[in-house]
Amino acid sequence: MTVLSNKRGIELDEQVPEAPPSPLAPPPAERAARRTPGASVRAYVALTKPRVIELLLITTIPVMFLAAGGVPPLSTVLLTLAFGTMSAGAANAINCYIDRDIDAKMRRTRRRPLARHQVTPARALVFGVTLAAVSTLGFLLAVNPVAAAGSLFAILFYVFVYSLLLKRRTSQNVVWGGIAGCMPVLIGWAAVTGGVAWTPLVLFGVVFLWTPPHTWTLAMRYREDYAVAKVPMLPVVASERRVVVESLVYTYATVACSLALWPVAGMGPVYGAVAVVLGLVFLAEGHRLLKAVRAGVTGVHLRPMRFFHLSNVYLALLFTAVAVDPLLR
C-alpha cells in the first residue's frame, strides 16, 4: 500500500549501519531466535511498517464521516480501523519477506527487521499470512462482505501485482501498484454503507493520482539506493527533468480530481475553499521544482523532499476537510 513517510521515519533509516558481525557470531536465524520477547514484539510490529499505516487513518476515517453524513457509528470505525490495520500490516509484512534482499542494500530500508536478521524470513511470511487471514475474516464477520472483499483485494494486489510483478520490472510500478494504497477509501465507505458509489471512487482517484509524484520525489532523494538495488523507479531510468514534468502533470490531475468531489458529493464551501487553497500551494511547489530543474539545478539542490513532505500535508488536510465538511453542513 501506498507509503506515507515523514522526516522522523527517514532519519531512522539513515542511521549509520551497525558494524558487520564477527565471523564467530551465530548465524542470522539463531540470532533472531535469541532475541528478548520485547525486542521480538518490536521487530514484528516494524514488519507491518506502522508509518505506512498512517495513510490508512488519514484516508479511511474521513471517508467514513462523509459516508455517514456526520459521525459514523463508533463501533464501525473501531472495527474498520482494527482490521484495516491488520490488513495493511499483512501486506507490508509479506512485502518485507519478498523484498528482504533489496532492503538490505538500500540506505532507506536497511534497518528493517529482515534486513537486520531480527526475524527469520519464514516467520515473517507466516506472520503476514496470518494477519491477512484474521483481517479478512474479521471484516467478513464484524463489518460486511464488501469491506472484506476490498481488504482481501488490496492485500493480494499489493503482494502479487506490485511486489512480485511490477516493482522490479517497470518504472510505472508505483503508478499501478498504487491501486492497493487507494483501497482504504473504498473500504471505509463500504464499512458504513455496505456498497460503493461515485463519491468514494472520486476520492480513490485523488489518492491514485497523488501517489506517483509523492513517491517519485522520495525516489529522487534515494535514487542511488534504487539503482544499487536494481529497482527501476522513474528517477533511476529517466532524467530529473522528465521526473519533475511527469510529477507536475500528476499533481495537476490530483488537484482537478479533488475539485471534482465538490459537485459529485455535494460538498459545502468549507471543502471547496480548502481544496482550492491546498491545490494552489501544491501546484506552486511543483512549479518550483520545474523552474529549478530548467535552471540547471540538480541532485539534492532541487530539494525534492520539500515536495514530498508537502504532499503528505496536502493529503492530510484535504481528507480532514472531507471529514469536517459534512459535520458543518
Give the tens place of pLDDT for each residue, 294-327: 999 888 889 999 999 999 999 999 999 999 999 9
- Model confidence at 29, in pLDDT bands (50, 70, 90)? low
Q: Is the pLDDT assigned to residue 25 strictly greater than 70?
A: no
Would you kindly state where each structural domain of the chain is located, as residue ranges?
7-14+23-328
**191 vs 65: CA distance, rounded Å:** 11
- Of 32-41, 93-102, 104-113, the least confident: 32-41
Query: Considering only CA atoms, which of 214, 154, 219, 215 is closest in space to residue 190?
Result: 154
Query: Considering only CA atoms, which of 249, 318, 240 is closest in space to residue 278?
Result: 318
Sequence-distant (6+) residues with CB within 8 A of 110 are 13, 17, 103, 104, 116
**74 vs 76: CA distance, rounded Å:** 5
Mean of the pLDDT values across residues 11-17?
37
Dump pLDDT digits (tens) for 219-261: 999 999 999 999 999 999 999 999 999 999 999 999 999 999 9
pLDDT of amino acid 54: 83
pLDDT of amino acid 3: 38
Greater pLDDT, 11 or 311 = 311
Dump pLDDT digits (tens) for 76-85: 999 999 999 9
What is the pTM assigned to this prediction? 0.87
pLDDT of amino acid 34: 57
- Of 2-16, 109-123, 173-187, 282-296, the least confident: 2-16
In 99-239, which residue ranges form alpha helices assigned H by DSSP?
Answer: 100-103, 121-138, 145-156, 173-177, 179-193, 198-221, 223-229, 234-237
pLDDT of amino acid 174: 95
pLDDT of amino acid 182: 95
- Cell digits of residue 248: 507536475
CA angle 324, 197, 272 (to 5 degrees): 35
Query: Considering only CA atoms, which of 262, 286, 284 is closest in space to residue 273?
Result: 262
Average pLDDT over the chain, rounded to an integer:
90
For residues 222-252, one letter each, b for 16 or more C-beta atoms within 10 angstroms of the residue's C-beta and e for the rest, the string is bbebbeebebbbbbbebebeebbbbbbebbe
- Cell digits of residue 38: 520485547
Q: Count CB atoms within 10 A of the CB of residue 253.
A: 17
pLDDT of amino acid 300: 83
pLDDT of amino acid 199: 97
Mean of the pLDDT values across residues 123-148?
98
pLDDT of amino acid 158: 97
Pick the CATH number of 7-14+23-328 from 1.10.8, 2.60.120, 1.10.600, 1.20.58: 1.10.600
- Model confidence at 273, in pLDDT bands (50, 70, 90)? very high
- Cell digits of residue 15: 542511521
**Contact yes or no for 125/97 (Cβ under 8 A):** yes
Q: Count CB atoms within 10 A of the CB of residue 327.
A: 13
pLDDT of amino acid 183: 96
pLDDT of amino acid 9: 36
Dump pLDDT digits (tens) for 164-223: 999 999 999 999 999 999 999 999 999 999 999 999 999 999 999 999 999 999 999 999
